[in-house]
Amino acid sequence: MQKEELKKKAMSILIILVIGTFLGTLNQTLMNTAMPTIMEEFKIDATDGQWITNVYMLMNAIMVPLTAYLIQRFSTRTLYLWSVGMFAIGTLFCGFAPTFSMLIVGRMIQAMGAGVLMPLMNVVVMNLFDIDKRGRAMGIIGLALNFAPAFGPTLSGLIVSYMSWRYLFLLIAPFIIIDFIVAFFILKNIGKTQKLKLDVLGVILSSVGLGSLLYGFSNAGGGDLASFKVWGFILIGLVVLVAFIFQQTHEEKPLLNFKVFEYKTFNITSIITVVLMMAMYGGALLLPLFLQSIQHKSAIISGLVMLPGALITAFLSPTAGRLYDKYGAKYLSLIGTIVLAIGTAMMIFFKLDTSVWYVLTCQFIRQLGLVLILMPIQTEALNAIPLSLIPDASAMYTTVRQIAGSFGTAAMITVMSMASKEEVKALIGHHAPALIAQLAQLKGIQVTYAATTAVTIVAALLCLTLSNQPHLFELKEND
């Protein structure tokens, strides 16, 4: 199909991709509100429970580096159908999982499919839309990438309040299957395929490095930092990742093309994205824990508290894209990070008797900040790269995004757990054991939000280095 004809069908192609990516991204936070219920059913603590979310994002991060190869090796239609098909199989597997271990396996299968969807969608948009219209297209994508994780806890709260947590998967599965069927008949191929050799060593090194590093960070939440399960796996992960980077920079056809970091704007936006993902996914995980484990609110209340923030994300995502096309990233992103920092800082003052309305307001402000910055930052990152490097840039950026979300969640749980343990020591003998547990977990959450506020302020300063133009340069087909 000729490029001009494809552009006429661009919006219908985009909608199909957005639906699939929406469902995939939704599953990153769909389990957050349900986590206390799942922890109780399988008799696990928060350190183990975080793997429900972490393993999904980690597997995403492992799959994403492969997408630069997959997008160039296989046709758009074939790759999309494979991804959605794997995602559907994993979703059904989770819905019927008899044990926590099997649930984790199902989450991994889900993520194998979902991990390809986001970078594939980015590449399609960068090829189908002219540079002055990409912000608007990315704004529509924001419904999938930003509204979905914000809406996940709300949907989860509603379902878990009236049905088993298993319906979080069983009710989603039909929508995935319908998207597969529609894509089978409507989706067209974009771009040309190439016969590339897969960098098997790169896949092994990246998987082992990321897996070891996340496993070590996640175990740190248990508080025993001297354990080999913490420092040993972190050290192994760092060494293997250094070897991976060295191998990639000397590989003729690398899994991840590190040349994209030669572009300053891409570097800056990647660092800002790390902070944003920590704030978005970590914050979405801590809030249900505060409402359900500390204040003993129901899952439906926890979910409804997240709803206004999710709705403002859906409402403003397309607008944020249009604002980027008109004004560029610099000041839009700066405003967004400042608003995010204010909303997060307000959460430092959570108390045992904090009203639901105050919690709702904090989360609403946080989401307002996030929606003003997330898609403009992503569009700015990809606009900084020549079109010929877009598959590599999309894979790298999405890898950074997924790793940041996964490690950010692990880091937040670790900070919370360590601060809680210290608070327990300080409170022993002064209160009843049940109250000590509540106060200690509250202290952990307060400290974690304080740390998040600090790194968000650093991100705001980095926004000042961005361009105030809608794009950096006109991209040419043969750059």
Per DSSP, the residues of 140-153 read HHHIIIIIHHHHHH
CB 450 within 8 A of CB 243: no
CB 230 within 8 A of CB 220: yes
Q: What's the Cα-to-Cα distance from 222 to each of 61, 90, 231, 366, rounded to whole Å?
A: 24, 29, 12, 28
pLDDT at 96: 92
In sequence order, what are the residues at sequence separation of 6 or more whose Cβ sits closer than 8 angstroms to the Cβ of residue 144? 18, 19, 21, 22, 24, 25, 121
Parse the chain into domains and list their residue ranges. 3-199+253-463, 200-252
Domain 3-199+253-463, second-level architecture: Up-down Bundle (1.20)
DSSP state of 471: -
Residue with the two structure tokens 């105050």:
358
CA distance 159 to 171: 9
pTM: 0.73
CA distance 92 to 111: 13
Tokens (6 digits) for 464:
């000042």
CA distance 110 to 115: 9
CA distance 218 to 350: 25
Tokens (6 digits) for 249:
């920079």
Q: Is 293 helix (H, G, I), strand (E, B) or coil?
A: helix
pLDDT at 30: 78
CB 206 within 8 A of CB 43: no
In 129-232, alpha helices (H): 134-142, 148-162, 167-170, 173-186, 200-219
CA distance 465 to 268: 8
Residue type, 134: R
pLDDT at 473: 42
pLDDT at 472: 44
Residue type, 107: R
CB 332 within 8 A of CB 380: no
Mean pLDDT by 10 residues, the chain (479 residues): 55 81 80 79 77 76 73 81 92 91 91 82 73 69 70 81 88 91 81 73 85 75 68 88 89 81 88 83 77 85 83 80 80 91 93 93 92 84 80 79 74 83 81 82 91 90 78 42
